[in-house]
Structure 1
Amino acid sequence: MITEQARKMQVIVREYEAEKDLAGAEAVELSCEVGQSGAVSIFTDLLGDPTCRVRHSPAFLMLVAETVGPKKEIVGLIRGCVKTITCGKRAPRPAAAAAAAVAIYTKAACIVGLRVSPRYRRMGVGLQLVQQMEDWFRSHGAEYAYMATDKDNEASLSLFTGRCGYTKFRTPSLLVQPVFAGHRLPLRRTAIVIHLSPADAETLYRRRLSTVEFFPRDIDSILRNPLSLGTFLALPSGYSWANLDSFLAKPPDSWAVLSIWDTKSLFRLEVRGVSLLRRVLAWTTRVLDRSVPWLRIPSFPNIFRPFGGYFLYGLGGEGPSSASLMRVLCSHAHNMARAGGCGIVATEVTACEPFMPGIPYWQRLSIDKDFWCIKRLAEDYSDGAVGDWTRSAPASSIFVDPREV
């Protein structure tokens, strides 16, 4: 399918074909930074599978932009997926005040990883990729499309909010903690950690988090995916755990939960553009950490060569001690990442999450405002209870699907 603009620019947008497009897609990916702060750039290596960031979703597509002529070249790519997620909740009727709120679902599409080669930027390639991806979204019944970008990515924000009709919707924070290779983090004795089975984890999430914005209806597929390394529940040490049913019937005053996703098996990151002095200082902290681990020196991981990480998703909890219990779970995840050879542990949450103070992170590695932009695709809605979701007020929580990280 070639648009008039594509003919003029001699670029065609088509579906990705692994056998012939792999090398070209990798070249585009490696030519683009995925994050930038000052003179520091972050590059990603998708380990030989450009579709890895969407292929675990129910319906996904990858498009490439290719030059027309005797010497064809891949100059851009875009990934997208369609799924059913929560866009709001319906409060119980006054006569059933004790009943729980009911989730309102919508079919939504997510754009993941738009890339255009530096030589072909500002030539309409990105716009063509987005427009054809949106056509595919509509053909699969999506009512909304959304995407996430760094607040400092002016080109991306200009394209989506200026030319494609998206609006800024949510601004969660991407929190990153380095993995200290020299020592394990101690777990507080005031808490116990329960490893839930996928079935129990699904029950807990559907009972307690299903009304959170962006909660995926196919949560069971995520929890049973080989990349999901487990769901962990933190409880006060004085609580007597029997099983999930007894917990749900009478939970303690405070509790916290999270799940861990293995992004290390999908892609690696690398930080470039750092001065030699900072590299030496980071190396010194690692040497000291390994030499005298009992001092628990906060060593800076070697992120100047390819490294992987774990992503924490499905964070939730209740009660006055939920933040301290969340810290225990984050320490547990850190120790798992250390054993798995990771360089970082990351998660994404809203700034108003009550357990936010319990999530350890380094400001230099984190993004305090990650813009999520949204666009209404459908004119008619199957369920008008939520109205136009793009106009809704921010909720206190969001569910970040690890398949889109």
Structure 2
Amino acid sequence: MYAAMVVREYDAKRDGRAVEEVEKRCNVGPTGKLSLYTDLLGDPVCRVRHSPASLMLVAELVKDKYEREIIGMIRGCIKTVNCGSNVSRNGKNCPNLPLPHYTKLAYILGLRVSPSHRRTGVGLKLVQKMEKWFVENGAEYSYMATENDNVPSLNLFTGKCGYTKFRTPSILVQPVYAHRVRVTNKATITKLSPAAAEALYRRRFSATEFFPRDIDAILSNKLCLGTFLARAGSSWGVVSVWNCKEVFTLEVRGASRVRRALAGATRAVDRAMPWLRLPSVPEVFRPFGLHFLFGLGGEGPQAVRCVMALCGMAHNLARECGCGVVATEVARGEPLRLGIPHWESLSCAKDIWCIKRLGGEGDHHNHTLPDPDWTKSPPGMSIFVDPRDF
């Protein structure tokens, strides 16, 4: 028996090892089935510390003065993003571009509860405590993302915490082959400076749903490997690359010896005969890193070709950095996804984003427009996925 459960702020010195143990227990998948293990490289708060405001909480059982046990944790951050608008502005150089409406948005990730303490209300208390911090810091909305088949998570957030299903983007994953992929010479690729990239994003994408107002901080972050612009005639495409390898690694567990041997055979053939351009399975059965592509966009009749060229360039960059996969996340209706190479077996066709209105005051209240409820708005063609949330 224990006296009480306490939800408190994470202390790196006291809690680091215990939190790591909970992460390991929560990352164990069903016996005999493939599961994805995430290793945060010894820093449990690394996935939120790059945000303007972030917090990590732990749930601790206090049995007596000397015996304590961490049984759960949660991470959260707050940022200012665009929540969409139908309003247009007129100007000499940017006619009829939508006017962004910013709001304070909170994001929940990394909710973990030790398997032996699930269905006891620990997860609910962690979420409620985190939401209290969100409200105290002026967040108007809170959202979270989970896999389509994660029924316990969906039941917790939609059934008990008042969230509603909001968007269903797709996570597209391409393996990194042993050989370089060919990049078409019909598109010219240029690396932009952080200042030039910021100007382009603010001009063209600031009214895209979830666009972060602190895009400059993202583009100048040491994890951002650069922003690249491709041109083909009057068409263009753009993408930025985020180095997740420095934040966490992934590992596929539960594969049979036969499956591992077949994957190894594809790599051996690929290395031996790279001119055949055969697709190969990277070494995903031990820790591997990934690069995340964000800020994907473009215009013109050859925009898809430009995006395809940028993805080829990103693949070769990931290969040089020793990554196992390249990933991106796009709206289900994103027209440029036709230019994104990916393997269906590694991708997630329907990621679930759930949202809740907390009642804070977003920046759009400063406008003379009626107060919109973002949770009831229809999805647009595109979304801007913040790499700090991935």
Q: TM-score range by the shorter chain?
A: over 0.9
- Per-residue CA deviation, residues 351-405 of structure 1 (Å, 9 max, x unaligned), is 2111111000111111000000000001665535451000000111101100111
- 1:261 maps onto 2:258 in alignment: no
Aligned to 1:13: 7
Q: How does 1:33-48 map to 2 (within 5 A)?
A: 33=27, 39-48=33-42
- Per-residue CA deviation, residues 7-40 of structure 1 (Å, 9 max, x unaligned), is 9883211000000100011111122239999921
Structure 1 range deviating more: 87-96 or 194-203? 87-96
Aligned to 1:363: 344
- Per-residue CA deviation, residues 256-303 of structure 1 (Å, 9 max, x unaligned), is 100000000110111111122111110000111111111111010110
Task: Calculate the TM-score normalised by the size of structure 1.
Answer: 0.91
Q: How does 1:77-226 map to 2 (within 5 A)?
A: 77-92=73-88, 98-181=95-178, 183-226=179-222
After the TM superposition, list the runs of 4 or more consecutive aligned residues in structure 1 that deviate by more than 6 angstroms. Answer: 34-38, 93-97
Paired AA for residue 387 in structure 1:
P
Paired AA for residue 53 in structure 2:
A
User: Where in structure 1 are there 5+ consecutive unaligned residues?
Assistant: 1-6, 240-251
**Is contact 1:9–1:123 with CA below 8 Å preserved after alignment?**
no
Match of 2:100, SS?
strand
- 1:76 maps onto 2:57 in alignment: no
Cα distance in structure 2, aligned partners of 1:74 and 1:16: 10
Match of 2:123, SS?
helix
Task: Calculate the TM-score normalised by the size of structure 2.
Answer: 0.94
Cα distance in structure 2, aligned partners of 1:74 and 1:100: 50
**Is contact 2:288–2:323 with CA below 8 Å preserved after alignment?**
yes
Cα distance in structure 1, aligned partners of 2:3 and 2:330: 40
Cα distance in structure 2, aligned partners of 1:93 and 1:346: 34
**Is contact 2:192–2:229 with CA below 8 Å preserved after alignment?**
yes
Cα distance in structure 1, aligned partners of 2:52 and 2:95: 34
Q: 2:45 aligns with which of 51, 54, 64?
A: 51
Structure 1 range deviating more: 383-392 or 339-348? 383-392
Cα distance in structure 2, aligned partners of 1:180 and 1:280: 17
Q: 1:284 aligns with which of 240, 252, 265?
A: 265
Match of 1:200, SS?
helix
Aligned to 2:55: 61
Aligned to 1:390: 375
CA 1:267 to 1:94, structure 2 compared with 1: closer, same or farther past 3 Å?
Answer: closer
Structure 1 range deviating more: 62-71 or 171-180? 62-71
Paired AA for residue 265 in structure 2:
T
- Per-residue CA deviation, residues 220-279 of structure 1 (Å, 9 max, x unaligned), is 00000000000000101xx5xxxxxxxxxxxx2x21100000000110111111122111
Aligned to 1:25: 19
RMSD between superposed Cα atoms in Å: 2.0
- 1:400 maps onto 2:385 in alignment: yes
Cα distance in structure 1, aligned partners of 2:250 and 2:330: 21
Aligned to 1:298: 279
**Is contact 2:36–2:253 with CA below 8 Å preserved after alignment?**
yes
**Is contact 1:36–1:42 with CA below 8 Å preserved after alignment?**
no
Aligned residues: 383
Cα distance in structure 2, aligned partners of 1:14 and 1:296: 53
Paired AA for residue 194 in structure 1:
T
**Is contact 1:32–1:43 with CA below 8 Å preserved after alignment?**
no
CA 1:145 to 1:34, structure 2 compared with 1: closer, same or farther past 3 Å?
Answer: farther
Cα distance in structure 1, aligned partners of 2:163 and 2:208: 22
Identity of counterpart residues, as a percentage?
Answer: 58
By how many angstroms is 1:158 displaced?
0.3
Cα distance in structure 2, aligned partners of 1:197 and 1:399: 20
By how many angstroms is 1:98 displaced?
2.9
Structure 1 range deviating more: 220-229 or 275-284? 275-284
- Per-residue CA deviation, residues 198-222 of structure 1 (Å, 9 max, x unaligned), is 0000000000010100000000000
Structure 1 range deviating more: 93-102 or 276-285? 93-102
- 1:344 maps onto 2:325 in alignment: yes
Structure 1 range deviating more: 337-346 or 372-381? 372-381
Cα distance in structure 2, aligned partners of 1:151 and 1:36: 17
User: Where in structure 2 are there 5+ consecutive unaligned residues?
Assistant: none
Paired AA for residue 322 in structure 1:
A
Aligned to 1:242: none
**Is contact 1:90–1:104 with CA below 8 Å preserved after alignment?**
no
**Is contact 1:175–1:366 with CA below 8 Å preserved after alignment?**
yes
- 1:326 maps onto 2:307 in alignment: yes
Match of 2:105, SS?
strand
